[in-house]
């Protein structure tokens, strides 16, 4: 195994461990209490989203990222494909394990959006420093246990999302590093945090947003950050 990928695999393994622990606790939790836990976790997700979104410094980047990201997401209809994947896994796993798609989508966004999800893999790829990813993995492990106890086994599959994203960034670190400066990572986090706010509203039953169809906005924020810098430099 490429040693630079150690951090990604460590985070992957820790999410699985946390999910398995959560499954053990889930068996002893009555449905009424489980439902209350989901609402409580939704409030925590809302707080995470708000604190991340307000860190954004460029409203134009956020607006254009959401606008064009939504158009791309709706044209591809990522939400439909993710739901199909969740339904397929549900059939394979069997009934009685909760809503696979809800657990998978919720924790995929939580574990994959944020500064640590970008900076950690970059440090692993460029400096073989896995400290950030392992630290994030421990946090994700605890969160996975909590969310699995309320949302079910779907949470465990988000570990593969973590491995795919963070492993990809690690492998491409040399090429991505010049694009992902501190400002860009901040704007990516802000845009992603808006999606987390939408996710929390869904969990509370207030909306039925197709959150996955907004996901391209997170990656488009990199493009719009670069375009904004080029325009400012040209005008200056």
Q: What is the DSSP string of 43-98?
A: HHHHHHHHHHHTT---HHHHHHHHHHHHHHHHHHTHHHHHHHHHHHHHHHH-SSS-
Range of the domain at 130: 3-56+79-207
| Residue 83 in domain | yes
pLDDT of residue 154: 86
| Residue 16 in domain | yes
pLDDT of residue 139: 87
| Residue 230 in domain | no
| Residue 223 in domain | no
pTM reported for the whole predicted model: 0.78
pLDDT of residue 167: 93
Q: What is the pLDDT along the chain (236 residues), one digit of tens a residue?
A: 557 899 999 999 999 999 999 888 877 667 777 778 778 888 888 988 898 899 888 999 999 999 999 999 999 998 888 878 777 777 777 555 557 778 888 888 888 877 788 888 988 988 888 998 998 999 899 889 888 888 888 899 999 999 999 999 998 887 888 888 888 888 988 998 899 899 889 888 899 888 889 989 988 998 999 898 888 888 86
| Residue 68 in domain | no
pLDDT of residue 220: 93
pLDDT of residue 127: 85
pLDDT of residue 31: 72
pLDDT of residue 143: 87
pLDDT of residue 94: 58
pLDDT of residue 231: 87
| Residue 97 in domain | yes
| Residue 85 in domain | yes
Domain count, the chain: 1
Q: What is the DSSP string of the chain?
A: --GGGHHHHHHHHHHHHHHHHHHHHHTTS-HHHHHHHHHHHHHHHHHHHHHHHTT---HHHHHHHHHHHHHHHHHHTHHHHHHHHHHHHHHHH-SSS--HHHHHHHHHHHHHSSHHHHHHHHHHHHH---HHHHHHHHHHHHHHHHHHHHH-GGGGGHHHHHHHHHHHHHHTHHHHTTT--HHHHHHHHHHHHHHHHHHHHHHTTS----GGGGTHHHHHHHHHHHHHHHHHHHH-
Residues contacting 58, CB < 8 A, separation 6+: 187, 225, 228
pLDDT of residue 98: 56
Tokens linked to 105: 């989508």
| Residue 111 in domain | yes
Rounded-to-10 torsion of CA 52, 219, 122, 125:
150
């Amino acid at each position: 195994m490429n040693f630079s990928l150690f951090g990604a695999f460590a985070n992957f393994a820790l999410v699985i461990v946390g999910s398995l622990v959560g499954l053990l606790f889930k068996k002893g939790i009555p449905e009424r209490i489980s439902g209350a836990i989901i609402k409580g976790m939704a409030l925590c997700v809302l707080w995470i989203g708000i604190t991340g979104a307000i860190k954004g410094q460029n409203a134009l980047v956020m607006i254009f990222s959401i606008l064009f990201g939504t158009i791309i997401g709706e044209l591809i209809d990522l939400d439909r494909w993710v739901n199909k994947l969740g339904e397929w896994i549900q059939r394979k796993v069997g009934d009685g394990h909760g809503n696979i798609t809800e657990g998978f989508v919720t924790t995929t966004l939580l574990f994959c959006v944020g500064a640590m999800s970008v900076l950690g893999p970059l440090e692993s790829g460029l400096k073989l420093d896995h400290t950030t990813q392992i630290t994030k993995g421990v946090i994700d492990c605890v969160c996975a246990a909590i969310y699995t106890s309320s949302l079910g086994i779907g949470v465990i599959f988000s570990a593969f999302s973590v491995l795919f994203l963070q492993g990809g960034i690690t492998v491409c670190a040399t090429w991505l590093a010049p694009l992902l400066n501190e400002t860009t990572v901040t704007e990516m986090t802000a845009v992603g945090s808006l999606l987390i706010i939408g996710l929390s509203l869904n969990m509370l039953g207030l909306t039925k947003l197709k959150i996955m169809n907004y996901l391209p906005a997170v990656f488009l924020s990199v493009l719009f950050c670069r375009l904004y810098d080029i325009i400012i430099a040209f005008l200056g």
